[in-house]
Amino acid sequence: MSALPPSNAIVTGASRGIGRAVALRLARDGFAVVVNYAGNRDKAAEVVTEISGHGGRAVAVQGDVAEAADMVRLFDEAEKAFGSVGAVVNSAGIMKLFSIASGRVEDFDAVFAVNVRGTFNVLQQAAKRVADGGRIITMSTSVLGMNFPNYGPYAASKAAVEVLTRILAHELRGRGITVNAVAPGPTATELFFEGKNEEQIQRLAKLAALERLGEPDDIANLVSFLAGPQGGWINAQTVRANGGYT
């Protein structure tokens, strides 16, 4: 078991959904949190206010993970606010569902820009700037094991996230930094509900052995473990948090 160095964290995509739950949980764990958002300034400010209201420390920093310069600035602002970065959780992502036959290449590129290039941009900065002994956590998906129609580009993007995560763990050998991916199953977020009817939602909820949707806090609890001192022996892994979904 290794102790985490600086107790501050960057959480991308933290204005809503799983990212918001992760930011709030890490703040409860004692982390100072940099709440990254792409466009929803008001929602990010609400997260900062909630953390501050419970005695925590947080700042909101705008930045698009798909833009390398934005991620350099994000880490710059994080270091200015709280010093050396101890943990990074890359929760930013998009999900566009379309078949391979009918999909537009523009939608394919949008998914890969955020989910793959965005992950690369965040991991590149994290590799250079997370303190020795720190934590890096990415977000994959349990959909990878299901082969659902219309999920092809999204699942492919998350497969790339898992590969980048494992390889970075080995590239950081000798620094005591753990690099892991979390792969949620269907989770009750705006991203999940978008474009689905009630029948589809209930069908997906029943696929898990526990027969319910995950909650953002279910995922945040796992991230908390991986980001904390007890997660120090978990490295280069994808941990599937899905209630027995696959």
Contacts of 180 (CB under 8 A, 6+ apart): 136, 137, 138, 165, 169, 226, 231, 234, 235, 236, 237, 238, 239
Candidates 37, 151, 154, 245; catalytic one: 154
Q: Please say whether the beta carbons of 193 and 220 come within 8 A.
A: no
Q: Is the dihedral of CA 78, 79, 81, 82 positive or negative?
A: positive
151 is catalytic: no
List strands edge to edge, sheet with 85-90: 58-62, 32-37, 8-12, 85-90, 130-139, 178-184, 238-241
CA distance 197 to 153: 21
Pairing of the two strands 130-139 and 32-37: unpaired
Catalytic residue numbers read 154
